[in-house]
Chains A and B, each alone.
Chain A
Amino acid sequence: MRNDPVIQAEGLTKRYGDTTAVEGLSFRLPRGATWGLLGGNGAGKSTTIAMLLGLLVPSAGRVTVLGHDMARDRFAALARMNFSSPYVALPHKLSVAENLRVYAHLYGVARAERRIAELAAELHLEDILERPAGQLSAGQKTRVALAKSLINEPELLLLDEPTASLDPDTGDWVRGWLERYRARSGCAILLASHNMAEVERLCGHVLMMKRGQLVAEGSPAELVSGFGRDNLEDVFLDIARGRQAGGEAAA
């Protein structure tokens, strides 16, 4: 069904012994939308993404991705989604083209060489296709990681800090490219980031997490106005430091 959400999380919870990493997280990511997942270090963003990817089994709750229950049928969803993170490497000894070829095979991409050529042209990778992935600059690695994450033309893209460690110019180029890609493809994007300007620019809706819980959500403009602040960074600081919407300090 085209109106079904791409991600439907219901009461998603992850506990490690006595520690609760994520508790009772529920949200519905619509098709074609870009949402941000924000929170300080240890807020539960990475754990949430790992559960959405089926890499981690929730202690409680349920997540459905592209209509597939991730507890029972995750591989059907995984073929139609993809993931990029600067913290998960591609094999350094393999060339960029070889890396992309590996993932084209893993995702069953038809006409793989044509797809790789398309991505190389779109992401300006033509000159580095034969270079080992370990010899690339941070900006080049980011573009290669993006190419890997788009190899199967995903309907859902999970991005974990896609512009971390990039210079402002390259970061801006990546953000612009993501905007154009989403508009063109209709792909839904869930973006975890610490860059508030990036989130304000790309995301129509933001989920704010703290200590594993969803503490606020809304469009960047709604959050900024709800907290009586000038920008999302101040809202982030309010939440991180325990101030409520309207600037009151939490009890």
Chain B
Amino acid sequence: MSGAQLAARRVWGLVYRHLALYRRSWPRLIELMYWPVLQMLVWGFVTAYLAGVQQNTGTVAAGVLLGGVLLWEVALRSQMGFALSFLEEVWSRNLGHLFVSPLRPRELVAGLVVMSTLRMLVGVLPAVGLAWLLYGFGLFALGPVVVLFFAALMMMGWAVALGVTALILRHGAGAEPLAWSVLFGLTPFACVFYPVSTLPVPLQWVASALPAAHVFEGMRAAVLEGRVETGHLLAAFALDGLWLLLLGRVFLGQFEAARRSGALSNIGE
């Protein structure tokens, strides 16, 4: 086998480990879908109510809200999918075996990215389907640009997860709650439900540094005006690249720091 094939096999080994876990635990599978579906149901009824109050003039606004809910779940589930898959290894005290195997840190990251993608799809696609069935909102009716929205938000989720994982390597179990909470804290600046211009000017600068804010500007343009905002899409991907590079370096730096401090062998304790 070539080096690349061996690397792919190691990544598959890590993915297989998590798939085997899900195969044996249906509550974990249900948990993946639970929040996205619940969020979508609540916001769906809210938008249905608003549309009724406004004598159906709010239909477009409903699309913006539901689209925002569903797409923001893409970022949230991607971030959690990555960070929680790493935490599964901490909780099962398996890291000691993983880190003395030939699995490279970048392959660990690749395996976590694959798991994050699978977990996100399992979590978000049922909610997308339900939004269409219950409220007649078809996210994919926006066209192929939705795939780009998905990709940009997933990349942002991975970047944040790399930062969270670095903090877990640095602070151990004390940093675990960040795996659930950190991206929620960015929600006001991601401008999921309102334009960036709504924010005070200093916060608009914060928002402009987040790929999600550009994605949601693009989504609103697609829903409200039926056009693709290429500038915002490019900005989102450029920022994704920047954040991934930066937080990837932080992760690798923290990984090496943990090898020096001994944290790698007793993480989670």
Interface pick from A96-104, A165-173, A227-235, A242-250: A96-104
Contact of B264 among A55, A78, A95, A106 (CB under 8 A): A55
A132 to B92, CA, bound (A): 13
Q: Are B99 and A55 in contact (CB under 8 A)?
A: yes
With contact pairs A75-B104, A79-B102, A106-B10 given, residues A101 and B94 touching in the complex (Cβ less than 8 Å)? no
Residue B226 CB within 8 A of the other chain = no
A83 to B230, CA, bound (A): 52
Q: Are A89 and B264 in contact (CB under 8 A)?
A: no
Q: Are B24 and A94 in contact (CB under 8 A)?
A: yes
A110 to B256, CA, bound (A): 30
A16 to B262, CA, bound (A): 9
B residues near A110, Cβ cutoff 8 Å:
1
Q: Are A55 and B96 in contact (CB under 8 A)?
A: yes
Q: Are B94 and A91 in contact (CB under 8 A)?
A: yes
A residues near B92, Cβ cutoff 8 Å:
89-93
Residue A50 CB within 8 A of the other chain = yes
Q: Are A93 and B21 in contact (CB under 8 A)?
A: yes
Residue B101 CB within 8 A of the other chain = yes
Contact with B along A47-80 (1 / 0, CB 8 A): 1001001111100000000000000000100110
A132 to chain B: closest residue by CB = B24
B residues near A101, Cβ cutoff 8 Å:
13, 16
Contact with A along B228-269 (1 / 0, CB 8 A): 000000000000000000000000000010011110110000
Q: Are B100 and A55 in contact (CB under 8 A)?
A: yes
B residues near A132, Cβ cutoff 8 Å:
24
A91 to B99, CA, bound (A): 14
Q: Is the interface of B mostly helix, strand, loop or mixed?
A: helix
Contact with A along B140-180 (1 / 0, CB 8 A): 00000000000000000000000000000000000000000
Residue B197 CB within 8 A of the other chain = no
Residue B194 CB within 8 A of the other chain = no
B residues near A176, Cβ cutoff 8 Å:
none
Q: Are B97 and A103 in contact (CB under 8 A)?
A: yes
Q: Are A94 and B20 in contact (CB under 8 A)?
A: yes
Q: Are B99 and A102 in contact (CB under 8 A)?
A: no
A residues near B6, Cβ cutoff 8 Å:
108
A residues near B1, Cβ cutoff 8 Å:
108, 110
Q: Are B98 and A106 in contact (CB under 8 A)?
A: yes
Contact with A along B198-219 (1 / 0, CB 8 A): 0000000000000000000000
Q: 8 Å CB contacts to A: which residues of B93-130?
A: 93-94, 96-104
Q: Are B264 and A75 in contact (CB under 8 A)?
A: no
Residue A105 CB within 8 A of the other chain = yes
From residue B118, how far is it (CB to closest CB) to chain A in Å? 16
Residue B55 CB within 8 A of the other chain = no
Q: Are A78 and B20 in contact (CB under 8 A)?
A: no
A89 to B268, CA, bound (A): 13
Contact of B9 among A87, A90, A108 (CB under 8 A): A108
Q: Are B102 and A78 in contact (CB under 8 A)?
A: yes
B residues near A105, Cβ cutoff 8 Å:
9-10, 12-13, 16
A110 to B6, CA, bound (A): 10
Residue A1 CB within 8 A of the other chain = no
Residue B14 CB within 8 A of the other chain = yes
B residues near A50, Cβ cutoff 8 Å:
262, 265
Q: Are A106 and B94 in contact (CB under 8 A)?
A: no
Residue A143 CB within 8 A of the other chain = no
Q: Are A107 and B96 in contact (CB under 8 A)?
A: no
From residue A54, how far is it (CB to closest CB) to chain B in Å? 7
Q: Are A106 and B96 in contact (CB under 8 A)?
A: no
A127 to B145, CA, bound (A): 52
Closest CB pairs A-B (n = 7): A105-B13, A88-B96, A89-B93, A79-B102, A91-B92, A106-B13, A53-B100
Binding site for B on A (CB under 8 A): 16, 46-47, 50, 53-57, 75, 78-79, 83, 85, 87-95, 98, 101-108, 110, 132, 148
Known: A56-B262, A89-B93. 19 other contacts (CB 8 A): A50-B262, A53-B100, A55-B96, A57-B260, A75-B104, A79-B102, A91-B21, A91-B94, A93-B24, A93-B25, A94-B20, A95-B24, A98-B17, A98-B20, A102-B14, A102-B20, A105-B13, A106-B101, A108-B102
14 CB contacts below 8 A, A to B, read A54-B100, A55-B265, A85-B96, A88-B94, A89-B93, A91-B92, A93-B21, A94-B21, A101-B16, A102-B13, A102-B14, A102-B17, A103-B13, A106-B102
